[in-house]
Copies of this chain bind each other. A is one copy, B any other.
Amino acid sequence: MSQHRHPGAPGRAGAVPVLPDLPEATVARLPEYLRALHNLADAGHETVSSEGLSAAAGVNSAKLRKDLSHLGSYGTRGVGYDVALLIEQIEYVLGLTQRRAVALVGVGNLGHALAGYDGFASRGFRIAALLDADPSRVGEEINGLVVRHVDELPAVAAEESIAIGVIATPAGAAQRVADQLVAVGVTSILNFAPCVLSVPEGVDVRKVDLAIELQILSFHEHRKASLTALPATGGSALTALPGGLAATDTQEAIGT
């Protein structure tokens, strides 16, 4: 870490400097820091310490400092971080300086909500197209955008460069849509359908499954309940599991 802040390489548009390859865990936290920083900026703070920022983002302060150090970091010892500068750094690294176009496929229950979600626009993204396979939905106007048929994807991609595809279709249609997105050059996909997508190498897929989150919470609920129910049992049969339970009432729930 000899010299950062080397004056050269401003390179407004072209010549993107090579990005440091951040740990994936760090990348996942940067948006969190960014949000906290925006809040601080709105509240009028000019600088913030790692302690303060980590509290606002809900993480350990040492972790925050290490995360920021990975991107070269511009903190000042004894003072803290310049809020505005740090916002820029993170937005640059995350590639948010350009407003990326998002294509949303599947305008059902969830798709409708996503199309109207202002959190996208406010954080550097622009929904460029709404698509659906159902002809009865094509033509509908949502939030100022007209729903087009998914087969028009090539045309949409030709009109403007789609950076990210969002899949909000039923599981059965998701793989097909993913293939179509890949075919028109999309290399980043956010998948809300509860299924595994297979995509060629070089394409990033992130998955959000609302039911999975609930199931994880359910586990912890179950766990808490089982612990408070048997507070006496010290450390004896930790590996105990139901086992025989298959015979009784679960049968009617599963069956055929």
Contact = CB atoms under 8 A, between A and B. Distances in A.
B241 A4 contact: yes
Given A32-B212, A211-B125, A230-B18, A217 B204 contact: yes
Contacts of A125: 211, 214, 218
A26 B218 CA distance: 14
A10 B247 contact: yes
Given A88-B254, A92-B242, A214 B6 contact: no
B93 A219 contact: yes
Contacts of A159: none
A45 to B, nearest CB: 13
A164 B219 contact: no
Given A18-B233, A217-B188, A210 B244 contact: no
Nearest to A164: B217
A58 B194 CA distance: 12
Interface in A176-211: 187-190, 194-196, 202, 204, 206, 208-211
A76 B25 CA distance: 37
A14 B204 CA distance: 46
A48 interface: no
Given A16-B230, A202-B224, A240-B17, A94 B218 contact: yes
B113 A243 contact: no
Contact of A7 (B194, B229, B237, B243): B243
Contact of A221 (B35, B187, B210): B187
7 contacts: A4-B241, A21-B238, A31-B209, A31-B215, A102-B214, A120-B214, A125-B218
